[in-house]
Amino acid sequence: MTQEVDRSVSAIKAAYKDDFPKVALILGSGLGKFGDMMDIDTIISYDQIPDFPQPTVAGHAGRLLIGKVGKTPLVCMQGRM
């Protein structure tokens, strides 16, 4: 399991070079539009992250959004697993 997590983390860090936000949100049913409020720097589809689970709910986007809301840096998981 540790190797899978390491591969996932490495892929995310390779796609996003800045300091990683310390705030994370999981946007499940009814909250996916929260991402529209963000100033998004990077979007990473779950299927581009090695060993990362895929969304289990039909219609969930399945992607990481990395950016800011106001001055707060955050990462959002758009589509839960």
Which of 48, 45, 40 is CA-nearest to residue 68? 40
pLDDT digits (tens, 9 = 90+) for 46-78: 999 999 888 776 666 788 999 999 999 999 988
| pLDDT of 45 strictly over 80 | yes
Query: How far is the C-alpha of 42 from the C-alpha of 64, rounded, in Å?
Result: 8
Give residue limits of the domains in the chain. Answer: 2-78
**Distance, CA of 1 to chain centre:** 20
Maximum Cα–Cα distance across the chain: 36
Residue 79 corresponds to which tokens in the numbers above?
A: 């589509």
Where residue 27 falls (left for φ over 0; alpha for ψ -120 to 50; beta otherwise) is beta
Check residue 46 and report its DSSP letter: G
